[in-house]
Amino acid sequence: MRLASLFAALALGLAACGPTQETATPAVQQPAQIPDIYKARTDTGPNGEPIPIQAVRAAYLNDRNTRQLVPYNGSEAPGTIVVDPYARVLYHVQPGGQAMRYGVAVGRAGLTFEGRATIARKAAWPSWRPTDNMLRTEPQLYGQFRNGLPGGMQNPLGSRALYLYQGSVDTYYRIHGTLDPSSIGKATSAGCIRMFNQDVMDLFEQIPTGTEVIVRSQAESVRMEGPMVETPEGYVMPATAAPAADPAVTAQAAAPVQTAMVQASPVQSAVPAAPLMDPYAAMAAVPAATPVEPALVSDPFASGSATFVSPVESAVPAR
């Protein structure tokens, strides 16, 4: 199934400013500049084959999504990974009160785990297979993947995956790449914590196995980042920076975002040969209504099924 959000991404673009009055020589619109770190590159696949990675479109890069070194006021030791699924950022803590900040997309499973874990496994171009329970309960959907899906650009885990454990127990919480760069910075249905492929590759090289990961709770997020509001486009920003914010709304930091979740078959419309497909996104997120003003973010999946876990969120490594 092609990702629903890829179609929505077609509507995104950069705003262009034109002259306010006629001039003899019309201004030439300059192409948007993509930072070098997000330009196209070629990586080595799981079998040594070259895999081209497309550049991240400038339309998907905003200040909060773009990798950058920022001041950090947390108490975690340098080297620690801090995931904030509510502010939709990931910090790699650096010495001197700084951190490298990355934008992330958060799936439902990204809100079902909080606390401390350790990165016990790292994988480049990871493979994936449905769980035995998924094969047993929905064979018509997942039977074709019973032997696993090899790593590559057709795999929803993307270019890299970091697997979080507590002791010897797999939390099934993943930090991984994505097939859909337009989703970064938003609340999406598939995946735990997704990053631009270029970003997860950078993080992958920076950290060893054994790295401690701290996933913030909603209360910790509000305490450290302040309340966040969600824009009509699905991104988040600090409530204090929201234009024309209603003070009465801003004061209600616990107000949930009403988000409708609609079921969609993972494979009903999938074309096996299609290079961009996500056969594991069992539902798509759509806003219940376009808000007149940004709405405070707490649980963007509050109105969905509390028991649903998307297949990629409950994935286990191929055996």
Catalytic residue ranges: 176, 192
* Among the listed residues 197, 194, 191, 196, the one whose alpha carbon sits nearest the alpha carbon of residue 283: 191
Cα 148 from Cα 130, distance rounded (Å):
7
* Among the listed residues 206, 217, 297, 209, the one whose alpha carbon sits nearest the alpha carbon of residue 250: 297
Cα 79 from Cα 186, distance rounded (Å):
26
What is the DSSP annotation of 28-67? PPPPPPPPGGGS-EEEE-TTS-EEEEPPPPGGG--TTTS-
Q: What is the DSSP letter of 121?
A: E
What are 283's two structure tokens? 């539902």
Handedness of CA 263, 235, 206, 179 (dihedral sign): positive
Q: Taking a C-beta distance cutoff of 8 angstroms, is the pair 214, 83 a contact?
A: yes
The SS3 call for residue 206 is helix
Which residues lie closer than 8 Å to 163 by C-beta, 6 or more apart? 119, 120, 121, 122, 123, 170, 174, 317
* Helix H or strand E segment including 82: strand 81-84
Burial of 285 (0-12, 13-18, 19+ CB in 10 A): buried
82: number of CA atoms within 13 Å, CB side? Answer: 25
